[in-house]
Amino acid sequence: MAHIDEAPRPAGTAERAVAPAQGREKKLSGRDRLVVITMVTIPLFLVVWLVWLPALGSVALSFGKWNGFGDLDTIEWVGFQNYEDIVTIYPPFWPAIQHNLIWLGFLFVFPTVLGILLAVVLDREMRGSRLYQTAFYMPVVLSLALIGFIWQLFYSRDQGLINDVFGTQVDWYGDPDINLWAVLVATAWRHTGYIMLIYLAGLKGVDASLREAAAVDGAGEVKTFFHIIFPVMRPINMVVIVIVVIESLRAFDLVWVINKGRNGLEVIGALVAQNVIGEATRYGFGSALAVIMMLISSVFITIYLRMVFREERRG
């Protein structure tokens, strides 16, 4: 039987023939392209309209004087005069900076540490842990304004629980020497549950083999947490740091409900509101305060983003 020899084909011919079919990218249809453009355009428009334009407008207004009446042509541009007045002749500014720093330190030292402790305890799947998680997290879903009213039941001078129990007549919200600390306790009630939930979610994601290896090496629970678990949760730690900084800088609701940020409760957010929507209606001055608060926040956010990008490059 005669064999018919086939002409030899150059190596790689089959692969080249198949490669275009495998490497072809599917082009989007006109309808799909419209959907993608819409999904990108609408959120971009909302971010620009609701975030960037107001922010840029505040920066521009911070260099002028305007009471909000009349056209924009009535704005008197004064350069850096508003910023100079804030740091030199505006009495509430430096106490507000001090109070925000106290707010920041308090949140770090007390409710954050307590939230971590609660997360570690509840992570052990103790009996009734779901009930405890719900109870500790319940204040987080409440607004700070509502929390201020709730704690009025404890702090009221005439009918408050604390004064009734101890037989005192302390005006916890009105005394400028103690009202800041009373407000911080009310804030901690909400902040503790928030930090607890974040760390509890982080602990659930830790590889169980790390705990087992530490137990085999004879490490106790405390040593295991601080030397193994806590360092592994570094991304969670950075998120918590940013949250605490932002919470301390945007402290507003609670102090505004109590006394509009006066009489010992001066914070930067309340000063902005006093000058923008208060009796003074100094939009330029209030905008300058808002820009200062935004710049302080941006410093911490920039540090956080740099650390995140550095971790991604290492990974």
**Domain positions in the chain:** 78-314
Closest to 293 measured CA to CA, from 256, 244, 251: 251
Residue 42 C-beta-side C-alpha neighbours within 13 Å: 5
pLDDT at 4 (0 to 100)? 46
Closest to 302 measured CA to CA, from 238, 221, 217, 230: 238
Amino acid at 18: V
Question: Which residue stretches of 167-224 are H helix?
Answer: 179-204, 208-216, 221-224
How far CA 306 is from CA of 108, 248, 310, in Å, comes to 21, 21, 6
pLDDT at 2 (0 to 100)? 46
pLDDT at 306 (0 to 100)? 82
Phi, psi of 220 (to 5 degrees): -75, 175
Mean pLDDT per 10-residue section of the chain, whose length is 315 residues: 49 48 62 87 93 89 85 85 93 93 93 92 82 88 87 88 89 89 93 92 83 80 84 85 86 87 89 82 89 86 79 72
What is the model's pTM? Answer: 0.80
Query: In whole angstroms, what is the distance from residue 11 CA to residue 127 CA?
Result: 69
Distance of CA 249 to the CA centre of its chain: 10
Query: In whole angstroms, what is the distance from residue 195 CA to residue 111 CA?
Result: 8
pLDDT at 257 (0 to 100)? 87
pLDDT at 180 (0 to 100)? 92
Query: In whole angstroms, what is the distance from residue 84 CA to residue 88 CA?
Result: 6
Largest interatomic CA distance in the chain? 118
Phi, psi of 64 (to 5 degrees): -140, 175
Q: Which two tokens stand for residue 305?
A: 């983003």
- CATH fold of 78-314: MetI-like fold (1.10.3720)
Task: Quickly count: other Cβ atoms within 10 Å of residue 288's Cβ.
Answer: 27
Q: Which two tokens stand for residue 152?
A: 């009025």
